[in-house]
Amino acid sequence: MNVTRRTLLGSALVASFVLSSQVFAAPALVMGFSQVGAESEWRTANTLSIKEAAKSDGVTLKFADAQQKQENQVKAIRSFIAQKVDVIAFSPVVESGWETVLREARAAKIPVILTDRAVNVTDASLYATFIGSDFVEEGRRAGRWLLERARKTPNASVNIVELQGTVGSAPAIDRKLGFEQAIAANPKLKIIRSQTGDFTRAKGKEVMEAFLKSQGKNINVLYAHNDDMAIGAIQAIEEAGLKPGVDIIVVSIDGVKGAFEAMIAGKLNVTVECNPLLGKQLMQVARDVVAGKTVPKRIVTEEGVFPAEVAAKEFPNRKY
């Protein structure tokens, strides 16, 4: 083979090696994310998942904590629009009051992705997709667990007190709805008191203290819309000289580590999983949306139900 051909072949081989060895980094993407706050173990895990996924996916994340205030989320979204980010994602603290700012994002041609909680808008085209749980089903799962347990004492009245999540939030509205749908099958199961504990341990304890003062030994079950309020309520039950998990059955939602520890200690009876680890899905969907790909309008996360009997075995596998 003559020199020229050998040189050409050699340089072609070198070029193809260089090209193939270059890892084509995903295109730069700037995401503005407005988070509800830092009110619960669930939220902490959710934030960590989003930040870690952004880092590993090479997404530049502008992160704003709204301290559970809608006006702070609106401000953050407006700031993301002014900064001309490529995509906006947020977990809306409450369902209503988003039309105006979402129209501003659309006018600026910035796609919006909802994570975790949904919004109530007349025009669903104001957001690209929703990634999160089916809260109504979570409420039904909690109710079905209680229905099953109540079958052991078919003639006993079951008085339930309910700690609701943040007023006006999708999880609070839907978990209440789903639970009531499920327990309607047994008229012996009655919700005798229901009040918001705003998804926090402190408020959950405070409201449970009030329930115990007014209802005392008349309470058979606590249904809490999240584990943090349940854990706060467990403290109140113990301070009232009662045994949580025994004198008062405790039913909760999220599946955070604190709930598994309470179940292992015999103080909580069941937790319905609500998966906060949405980060990876969010980054992938954000890239697809920015690339103009069609994405499903709703992406629901897979979740289970964990009664106390399986808590010790399952605990080592928990990721949040």
Q: Write out the residues near ligand GZL by the rule CB under 6 A.
A: 39-40, 42-43, 116-117, 132-133, 171, 199, 226, 228, 253-254, 274
> What minimum distance in Å lies between the beta carbon of 183 and ligand GZL?
20
- State the amino acid at position 304 in one-letter form: G
> What minimum distance in Å lies between the beta carbon of 294 and ligand GZL?
25
- For Cα atoms 275, 281, 286, give the angle at the middle one, nearest 5 degrees: 135
* Pick 73 or 133: Cβ nearer ligand GZL: 133
Chain centroid to Cα 243, Å, comes to: 29
Q: Are 113 and 87 in contact (CB under 8 A)?
A: yes
The tokens describing 301, both together, are: 């996360």
> What minimum distance in Å lies between the beta carbon of 27 and ligand GZL?
30
| DSSP type of residue 269 | -
The tokens describing 253, both together, are: 């939602």
Q: Are 271 and 252 in contact (CB under 8 A)?
A: yes
Name the one residue in this structure whose structure tokens are 């709204």: 66
Q: Are 158 and 28 in contact (CB under 8 A)?
A: no
> What minimum distance in Å lies between the beta carbon of 156 and ligand GZL?
30
* Pick 40 or 269: Cβ nearer ligand GZL: 40
* Pick 32 or 171: Cβ nearer ligand GZL: 171
Strand, coil or helix: 261:
helix
> What minimum distance in Å lies between the beta carbon of 242 and ligand GZL?
24
* Pick 127 or 199: Cβ nearer ligand GZL: 199
Strand, coil or helix: 146:
helix
> What minimum distance in Å lies between the beta carbon of 254 and ligand GZL?
5
Q: Are 160 and 221 in contact (CB under 8 A)?
A: yes
d(CA 49, CA 47): 5
Q: Are 223 and 251 in contact (CB under 8 A)?
A: yes
* Pick 57 or 227: Cβ nearer ligand GZL: 227
> What minimum distance in Å lies between the beta carbon of 40 and ligand GZL?
4
* Pick 132 or 178: Cβ nearer ligand GZL: 132
Residues belonging to the chain: 320
> What minimum distance in Å lies between the beta carbon of 41 and ligand GZL?
7
* Pick 150 or 230: Cβ nearer ligand GZL: 230
* Pick 164 or 226: Cβ nearer ligand GZL: 226
> H or E segment at 61?
strand 59-65
* Helix-strand-coil split of the chain, %, nearest 5: 50, 20, 35
